[in-house]
Amino acid sequence: MKKRVKVKFKKWMHSQAAKVSFVLLVISAVLLTMASPSIKVSWSDELVAYVNNVLIGTAVGLLGIIVTISFVQSALDKQTTKNEKVEEYKKIVRYNKYLQILINEYMVYYNHVVTPIDKHGIELDKGFIQGFTLKDMSGMYYGSLLIRDGFNTPAIKKFYEVEEKLSSYLLRWNEEIDFKYTPNLEAIINEFFAKSKELDSRGNILGALETVAGNKKLSETITTELTEGKVDYLTKFNDGELQSNVMTSVVFLYYFLNVQQECIKRLISEISSIENELKALSN
């Protein structure tokens, strides 16, 4: 509360109203000083009383003007704040139209990555798949089975492509939106980037498609390990016992996917709240 009052006072002190009020306050102080009984003049008592009444009345009137100006400035500030907030909200809602297209595309490939190959034929555009396991990710190196993709284009490769598009677009938000009135939204986007960068293992994940170990590609080895599910890699990783760089990258991908899903859901929810608030402000 004290911080809000301090911010408002600081803002008012830099306004034109504060400058005018200060001048009027000085004039009022001068008039009140002139009306002080301590100032001796060679006038009749009646004239002195009359002049003092005029000076005091004028000073009080000026103080009233100061109060009025302050109220008017406050009203103008509130309207300016509302207009700025509405404009920022409108910009976010406008940008959100394309964001939703990218999120829907992202979600489809995300679901392909976390769905076993024998379930790639089901509808994967009805919301994020939750509670998936490492074993469920065994089909990520297979094709997506979408008509628009080549049959031999791995789902994980397409996922990273759309993830990069989504990230690039969110980066534009950080560059083009002030987030003056939507700090929570900015925090979610920044968290999305920070946690994604920390867990990003795409270099190794995609490199496994071309890297050969023994007589087969690493991607095939990963697929076999995930399909058989003989080793609990998540537990070994969390216990600090996972020595395989290859499977460590897969574990990183698992957490990467979970973190991004959680951030995107919060992002969608926050934007929905902004849309609702914009409707309320527009009424």
Give the model confidence (pLDDT) of 176-194 as tens digits.
Answer: 999 999 999 999 999 999 9
Say if residues 217 and 211 touch (Cβ distance below 8 Å): yes
Residue 94 placed within a domain? yes
Domain-located, residue 61: no
pLDDT on residue 91: 96
Pairwise CA distance, residues 172 & 166, whole Å: 10
Q: Does any domain span residue 14?
A: no
Write out the residue range of the structural domain in which residue 118 sits.
Answer: 85-282
Cβ-based neighbour number of residue 175 at 10 Å: 6
For the cut 50, the answer to whether the pLDDT of residue 68 exceeds it is yes
pLDDT given at position 230: 92
For the residues 16-26, what does the mean pLDDT come to?
A: 56
Q: Is residue 3 part of a domain?
A: no
Residue 271 to residues 82, 168, 182: CA-CA distances in angstroms? Answer: 18, 18, 9
Percent of the chain with pLDDT over 90: 53
Q: Determine, yes or no, domain membership for 114.
A: yes
C-alpha–C-alpha distance, residues 219 and 141, integer Å: 7
CB neighbour list of residue 78: distance below 8 Å, 6 or more residues apart? none
**Res. 5: pLDDT tops 50:** no
Residue 169 has pLDDT above 60, yes or no: yes
Q: For residue 163, name the pLDDT band (cuts at 50, 70, 90).
A: very high
Whether the pLDDT of residue 275 is over 70: the answer is yes
Summarised one tens digit per residue, pLDDT across range 111-154 is 999 988 777 666 666 789 999 999 999 999 988 766 566 667 89
210 lies in a domain? yes
Is there a domain that residue 275 lies in? yes
Domain count, the chain: 1
Instruction: Give the whole-number percent of the chain exceeding pLDDT 70.
Output: 67
The Cα 93–Cα 274 span in angstroms is 8
Q: Is residue 209 part of a domain?
A: yes
